[in-house]
Amino acid sequence: MSKQAIIAYLVSNSEGYDDPKFHSVNRENWTIADLFVRQELNNGCDGFGMENVHKVYKYLVKHKEELIKYNLLSKDGNNNFGFALWRNYNIAHEVEEE
C-alpha cells in the first residue's frame, strides 16, 4: 500500500482534513492517521469531521507497518487530558473481525 493510497483513503473518510500534513490539537501535532486512531480509542464513534471511524481504525491497524514506514503514525498517543491511548505504536485494542 502506498503512502498516497493510505492518505487518500483517510481523506475520503473525513471532512476538513484535505491537507495530509500534521494537524494541531491542543498544541500537539498529529497526522490524520493519528487523529482517526485517537477518535476510535478515546470516543469510539464518528466525530470532529471523521466518518466511518471504526472501519478506518481497523484499516489502520491492518496497515500499521506501512503507517510506521511512511511516518504517518506517532509512536505514542494521548487524549486531550494526557492519558495514554497507545504506546510504542501499539494501536490494536480488541479489533473485532467482521
* Number of domains, the chain: 1
On whether residue 94 sits in a domain, the answer given is no
On whether residue 95 sits in a domain, the answer given is no
Task: Domain of residue 24: give its range.
Answer: 3-86
- With contact defined as beta carbons under 8 Å apart, do 56 and 50 qualify? yes
On whether residue 68 sits in a domain, the answer given is yes
Residue type, 35: L
- What pLDDT digit, counting tens, does each position of 18-73 carry? 665 655 555 568 899 999 999 999 999 999 999 999 999 999 999 999 999 999 99
Q: How far apart are CA 5 and CA 25, in angstroms?
A: 24
Q: Which residue has the higher pLDDT, 97 or 86?
A: 86
Across the chain, where does the E strand assignment appear? Answer: 23-25, 28-30, 77-78, 84-86
What's the mean pLDDT when you consider all of the chain?
A: 88
On whether residue 98 sits in a domain, the answer given is no
In the DSSP assignment, the letter for residue 68 is H
